[in-house]
Amino acid sequence: MEDRVKDLCEQAGKLFEKRAPLLSLWQDIADNFYPERADFTTSRNIGEEFASGLMTSYPLLARRDLGNAFSGMLRPTSKEWFKTGTTRMDRVDNAGKRWLEHATETQRRAMYDRHALFVRATKEADHDFAAFGQCVISTQLNRNADALLYRTWHLRDVAWCENEEGKVDTIFRKWKPYARELIKLFPQTVSKKVRDIAIKGPYEEIKVGHAVVPAYTWGGKYRTPYVSIFYEEDSKNILEEVGSYTTVYTIPRWQTVSGSQYAYSPATVAALSDARLIQAMTRVLLEAGEKAVTPPMLAVTEAIRGDISVYAGGITAIDSQYDERLGEVLRPLEMDRSGIPLGLNMQQDTREMIAQAFFLNKLSMPVDTGQMTAYEVGQRVQEYIRQALPIFEPMETDYNGELCEQTFEILYRAGAFGPMQDIPQSLSQADIQFTFESPLRDAIEAQKGTVLMQAKNLLAQVVDLDPSAALMFDAKTALRDSLEGIGVPAKWVNSVEDTEQAVAAQEEQVQAQQQLQQIAQGGEIAKQYAEAGQAMQGLQ
């Protein structure tokens, strides 16, 4: 066992050693955009001022606005921002769709449970994602196995590597829990050394590692894809070793480059030089403004008795024998202030460049003023989609998608969706996939919603030329697809079989009514014939 833990420590050491040069870049980014996280290469004390070395807060505000926009636009709590589906929804019957809707509701309740800490974890991760282009979120059941638990971990403490398919499958995390906490979490497997430490110092930090590795590299009898191992680094003692169907950690990456498992944020890469520039520029402008308001003074020191008091209401005493014809005793130094407006213009231009780097000018839909034509509105929506794709596309697939898939897998294995035998047959071999609601998705779906109306108008024009052309259009299928596209719940819509039965019953009812009408009409005609016959007999 000790050899296996030693091998894990060596693997983790190599990964952390290769990643060490990246910490200096992350530290520089954090110093300029995210000072709360600026402890990659330095240690912070409790109560230390975060942004004491900055002259302006604009780079911080830009990062804050982008980080807050992620949750507001991609995970709004006011709407169901994700839906459970499959890669081939056309093969899922109505019972399967209802089960998927039930799974969506169950998963949403579990994720937003107060004990799951989902909102807290994703809020922290959003700002890591905006600043560094990646974040680390763990998704597990809590120790009581009665709720989910989401945690965001510092990038400094996590290292990972990819497999040959470019997927992160090996993850190492450094952890320093208190001795008393470690004994509570692993009461049966914690080492004697830790127990002895806890007696004298329960709040002593213990070096613990957590590794998630592919099962085939670890060996053993695991049938799961991965193995999760907690171990003590000093005593080389395994605290927990369990199989896992997920990688435990979700590591979304914004912009990747070939040859590296670590990503970067295109926002901070573009704005880092501007952030340094605006800090230096603001310092110069502040100094120039201070000199303009309280300029440096020239004084005849022999004529001044005491201190120079240039503050409001201050009195400076001078020698009464001084001859002012020789010049003023105290006068401001002449300064050239013509450069201040130019500096302010340059500062404003730098702010605009930082705002563009953080996509702050691309996060809102184009506003329809009522004076634009439908074609112009459509073109502006298309332009918005092209500009917003770099922001939303990576987050929908690698961030929200991976997070929801791991959550679904955990809840599915825990039986949160009910017995497995109750799963409809149409979902038995289906590949679960999540779809998400976002301004980008809304824009795309809004365009899809107009297809049915366009088809209707086109048919109305063609039917005048050829009435048989209307037979080409399947209105029921088009309406069903349109209802699914706008998000109508499956339980609101009858299945295809129920619809066909209802149509058949309606046709039978119509036929029965027609037969009754025919019988009634026949009886009326017979009555008329009888009355006509009686009338003829009377005439005879």
Q: What is the Cβ-side half-sphere exposure of residue 442, based on CA atoms within 13 angstroms?
A: 11
Instruction: Give the length of the chain.
Output: 540
The mean pLDDT of 175-180, rounded to a whole number, is: 94
Radius of gyration (C-alpha) of the chain in whole angstroms: 36
pLDDT digit string, tens, across residues 301-354: 777 777 777 777 777 777 777 777 777 777 777 777 888 888 889 999 999 999
Q: Residue 435: its pLDDT value, please?
A: 76
Structure tokens at 304: 């001044």
Strand order in the sheet with 237-244: 158-162, 168-175, 208-214, 226-232, 237-244
Q: Residue 496: its pLDDT value, please?
A: 67
Dihedral, CA atoms, 280, 282, 288, 291, nearest 10 degrees?
-110
Q: What is the bridge-based pairing of β-strands 297-299 and 148-153? A: unpaired
Q: Residue 484: its pLDDT value, please?
A: 64
Neighbours of 174 (CB within 10 A): 17
Distance CA 486, CA 479 (A): 11
pLDDT digit string, tens, across residues 414-428: 999 988 888 888 887
Q: Are the C-beta atoms of residues 489 and 105 closer than 8 Å to each other?
A: no
The mean pLDDT of 162-178, rounded to a whole number, is: 93
Distance CA 236, CA 226 (A): 21
Lowest mean pLDDT among 255-259, 344-348, 483-487: 483-487
Distance CA 309, CA 316 (A): 5
Distance CA 151, CA 501 (A): 51
Structure tokens at 458: 């086109």
Sign (positive/negative) of CA torsion 234, 236, 237, 240? Answer: positive
pLDDT digit string, tens, across residues 384-401: 666 666 677 778 888 998
Q: 145: exposed, middle or buried (C-beta count within 10 Å: 0-12, 13-18, 19+)? A: exposed
Q: How far from 290 is each of 54, 282, 429, CA to CA, in Å?
A: 17, 12, 72
- pLDDT surpasses 90 at 194: yes
Distance CA 308, CA 330 (A): 9
Q: What crossing angle do the helices spanning 2-33 and 118-132 adopt, rounded to 10°?
A: 70
Chain mean pLDDT for the chain: 83
pLDDT digit string, tens, across residues 94-131: 888 889 989 999 999 999 999 999 999 999 999 999 99
pLDDT band at 429; cut points 50, 70, 90: confident
Residue burial 217-233, b: 16+ Cβ < 10 Å; e: rest = ebeeebeeebbbbbbbb
pLDDT band at 487; cut points 50, 70, 90: low
- pLDDT surpasses 60 at 369: no
The mean pLDDT of 205-216, rounded to a whole number, is: 94
Distance CA 187, CA 433 (A): 39
Q: Say what percent of the chain tops pLDDT 90.
A: 43
The mean pLDDT of 444-452, rounded to a whole number, is: 58
Q: Return the H-helix or E-strand segment holding 432.
A: strand 432-436
Q: Are the C-beta atoms of residues 358 and 66 closer than 8 Å to each other?
A: yes
Distance CA 390, CA 359 (A): 9
Q: 340: exposed, middle or buried (C-beta count within 10 Å: 0-12, 13-18, 19+)? A: middle
Distance CA 104, CA 117 (A): 19
pLDDT band at 38; cut points 50, 70, 90: very high
Lowest mean pLDDT among 90-104, 230-244, 247-261, 523-537: 523-537
The mean pLDDT of 284-302, rounded to a whole number, is: 82
Q: Residue 540: its pLDDT value, please?
A: 54
Structure tokens at 264: 């970067």
pLDDT band at 374; cut points 50, 70, 90: low
Lowest mean pLDDT among 15-24, 82-91, 178-187: 82-91
Long-range contacts from 103-108, C-beta under 8 angstroms, 24+ separation: 103/408, 103/417, 104/80, 106/411, 106/416, 106/417, 107/82, 107/404, 107/407, 107/408, 107/411, 107/416, 108/80, 108/82
Q: Look up residue 380 and give its DSSP letter.
A: H
Nearest to 357 by CA among 155, 133, 134: 133
